[in-house]
Structure 1
Amino acid sequence: MTVDRACCRCEAPLSEQERVLVGLPFSNSGPGGPPLYACLPCARAYARSVLAPPWIGEEIANTEARQASGRGDPP
C-alpha cells in the first residue's frame, strides 16, 4: 500500500484506493487549494452534513467499488 495523502478529518494515512474526494476548495478566481480527501468512515459522516456536496454519495460508491474490485479506478 502506497500512502500518498491523509484523511482531512481524522488524518489517517490513505492510499489512492482508500481515499474519497470530499471537497474542492474554490476562491473568486478559481481553484483555492488542493482537493480534500477523507477515509470512508469520515466521508460517510461528512455526507450526512448539510455542507456536503451533492456528488459525495457517488464518490463514496466509486471508492467502495474500487476497494471491492482491488483496482485503483472505478469499474
Structure 2
Amino acid sequence: MVFEVMAELPVEALGEVLALIETVRCDPYAWPCVADLGSVEEIREAWSDLAWVQYEPVDRTVQIREIGWAG
C-alpha cells in the first residue's frame, strides 16, 4: 500500500512526495500518460527532483498507484 511505503520514507522525502501529490491533484493532466498503447487505463507519471508518483486520474480525483524516492 502507498501508506506503508510513505511511512518508510525519510522525513525530507515525505515532504517532497506530498508536495508532488498535491501538484498532481491540482492538475492531473499536466503529466504524460505512460500506459501501454491500447490500454484502457490512463496511467500518468509525475517527477520532482528526487521523487516520482505514478497515478491514474479518476473522475475529479487521482488514484496513486506507486511512489518512489531516488534519494
Higher helix share: 2
Higher strand share: 2
